[in-house]
Amino acid sequence: MTVSTLRNHVNSIWSRRSLIRTFAINDLKIRYRNSVLGFFWSVLEPLLMLSVLYIIFTNVVKSDIPYYPLYLLLGLIMWNMLTRATSMSLHCVTGRAGIITKIYFPREIPAISTCVTASIMMLLELMVFSIFIVVFQFVPPSTMALLPIILIIQFILVLGLSLPLSVLNVYFRDVQYIWALITHAGFFLMPIIYRAEIFPEKLQTLLSLIPMTRILDMAHDVALYNIIPSATDWAYIIVSSLTILCVGYLIFKRFEAGVGEEL
Amino acid sequence: MDANAIEFENVTKSFRIHHEKINTVFEHVTSIFNRQNQFERLRVLNDVSFTVKQGEMFGIIGRNGAGKTTLLRLIANIFRADKGNVRTNGSVIPLIQLGAGFQPDLTTKDNIILYGVILGFSRKEIAEKVEDILEFAELEKFADIKIKNFSSGMHSRLAFSTAIQVDPDILLVDEVLSVGDESFQQKSFDAFMSFRKRGKTILYVTHNLESVKNLCDRALLLHKGGVQAIGSPAQVVDAYMNVLRSYPDHMRAGMRRS
Question: Exposed e or buried b for every residue in B94-121, given b needs 16+ CB within 10 A?
Answer: bbbbbbbbbbebbbbbbbbbbbbbbbbb
Please tell me whether residue B86 adopts helix, strand or coil conformation. strand
Counting every residue written for chain A, the total comes to 263
Q: What is the mean pLDDT of chain B?
A: 84
Whether B104 shows a pLDDT value over 50: the answer reads yes
Q: Distance (Å) from the C-alpha of residue B45 to the closest C-alpha of chain A? A: 14
Mean pLDDT, range B143-155, rounded to an integer: 86
A175 to B97: CB separation less than 8 angstroms, yes or no: no
End-to-end alpha-carbon separation of chain B, Å?
Answer: 37
* pLDDT for res B257: 46
Contact list, B101 vs chain A (CB under 8 Å): 96, 98-99, 102-103
* pLDDT for res B97: 62
Residues of chain A whose beta carbon is less than 8 angstroms from a beta carbon of chain B are: 16, 18-19, 21-22, 26, 29-30, 33-34, 96, 98-105, 171-175, 178, 257-258, 260-262
Whether A183 shows a pLDDT value over 60: the answer reads yes
Contact list, B106 vs chain A (CB under 8 Å): 26, 29-30
Distances (CA, A) of A84 to A77, A88, A179, A216, B87: 10, 6, 12, 16, 39
Mean pLDDT, range A143-156, rounded to an integer: 97
- Is residue A239 assigned to a domain? yes
What would the pLDDT profile of B44-79 be if each residue is shown by its tens digit?
899 999 999 999 999 999 988 888 888 999 998 889
User: Closest Cα partner for A105 from B143, B78, B36, B72?
Assistant: B78
User: Closest Cα partner for B205 from B70, B79, B88?
Assistant: B70
Name which of B73, B77, B101 is nearest A98 (Cβ-Cβ).
Answer: B101
Find which of B13, B21, B22, B23 to mutate to test the A interface (most A CBs within 10 Å of its CB). Answer: B23
C-alpha span between A151 and A158 (Å, rounded): 10
Name which of A98, A175, A261 is nearest B100 (Cβ-Cβ).
Answer: A98
Please tell me whether residue B204 adopts helix, strand or coil conformation. strand
What would the pLDDT profile of A24-72 be if each residue is shown by its tens digit?
999 888 887 756 677 777 778 777 877 787 788 777 767 788 888 889 8
Whether A93 shows a pLDDT value over 80: the answer reads yes
Mean pLDDT, range A124-129, rounded to an integer: 86
Whether A116 shows a pLDDT value over 70: the answer reads yes
C-alpha span between B24 and B202 (Å, rounded): 40
* Residue B258 binned pLDDT confidence (cut-offs 50, 70, 90): very low
* pLDDT for res A163: 97
Q: Distance (Å) from the C-alpha of residue B105 to the closest C-alpha of chain A? A: 7
Percentages of chain B per state (helix, strand, coil), in multiples of 5? 40, 25, 35
* pLDDT for res A13: 92
B114 to A22: CB separation less than 8 angstroms, yes or no: yes
C-alpha span between A235 and A247 (Å, rounded): 18
Find which of A22, A32, A101 to mutate to test the B interface (most B CBs within 10 Å of its CB). Answer: A22
- Is residue A2 assigned to a domain? no
Q: Which of A118-127, A150-159, B200-209 has the highest mean pLDDT?
A: A150-159
Mean pLDDT, range A232-247, rounded to an integer: 97
Pairing state between β B4-18 and B83-88: antiparallel
Name which of B80, B97, B105 is nearest A102 (Cβ-Cβ).
Answer: B97
Q: What is the CA radius of gyration of chain A?
A: 19
| Contacts for A32 with CB less than 8 Å, ≥ 6 apart | A38, A39, A41, A42
B73 to A105: CB separation less than 8 angstroms, yes or no: no
Q: Distance (Å) from the C-alpha of residue B113 to the closest C-alpha of chain A? A: 8
| Contacts for B226 with CB less than 8 Å, ≥ 6 apart | B45, B46, B47, B48
For residue B42, the cross-strand partners are B15
Name which of A29, A96, A101 is nearest B106 (Cβ-Cβ).
Answer: A29
Owning domain of residue A98: 14-262
C-alpha span between B115 and B98 (Å, rounded): 10
The full set of domain ranges for chain B reads 1-89+169-258, 92-167
Find which of B118, B145, B155, B175 to mutate to test the A interface (most A CBs within 10 Å of its CB). Answer: B118
Find which of B25, B170, B176 to mutate to test the A interface (most A CBs within 10 Å of its CB). Answer: B25
C-alpha span between A193 and A79 (Å, rounded): 11
Please tell me whether residue A152 adopts helix, strand or coil conformation. helix
Nearest CA in chain B to A21: B123
Range in A230-244, B84-98, B118-132, B217-231 with the lowest mean pLDDT: B84-98
Nearest 5°: the CA angle B205, B169, B172 is 15
A229-238's contacts with Cβ under 8 Å and 24+ in sequence apart are: A229/A146, A236/A211, A237/A150, A237/A153, A237/A157, A237/A211, A238/A153
What would the pLDDT profile of B123-147 be if each residue is shown by its tens digit?
999 999 999 999 988 898 998 888 8
Nearest CA in chain A to B113: A22
pTM for the complete prediction? 0.88
Q: What is the CA radius of gyration of chain B?
A: 21
Distances (CA, A) of B85 to A150, A171, A205, A255: 45, 26, 52, 20
Contact list, A16 vs chain B (CB under 8 Å): 120
C-alpha span between A216 and A24 (Å, rounded): 25
Name which of B77, B105, B114 is nearest A104 (Cβ-Cβ).
Answer: B77
**Do B1-89+169-258 and B92-167 agree at the fold level?**
no
* pLDDT for res A90: 96
The domain defined by B92-167 folds into Helicase, Ruva Protein; domain 3 (1.10.8)
Number of domains in chain A: 1
Longest dimension (CA), chain B: 61
Superfamily for domain range B1-89+169-258? P-loop containing nucleotide triphosphate hydrolases (3.40.50.300)
C-alpha span between B160 and B176 (Å, rounded): 8
- For B54-186, where are the E strands, in sequence order? 57-61, 83-88, 92-96, 170-174
Name which of B24, B101, B105 is nearest A172 (Cβ-Cβ).
Answer: B24
Residue A89 in contact with residue A115, Cβ under 8 Å? yes
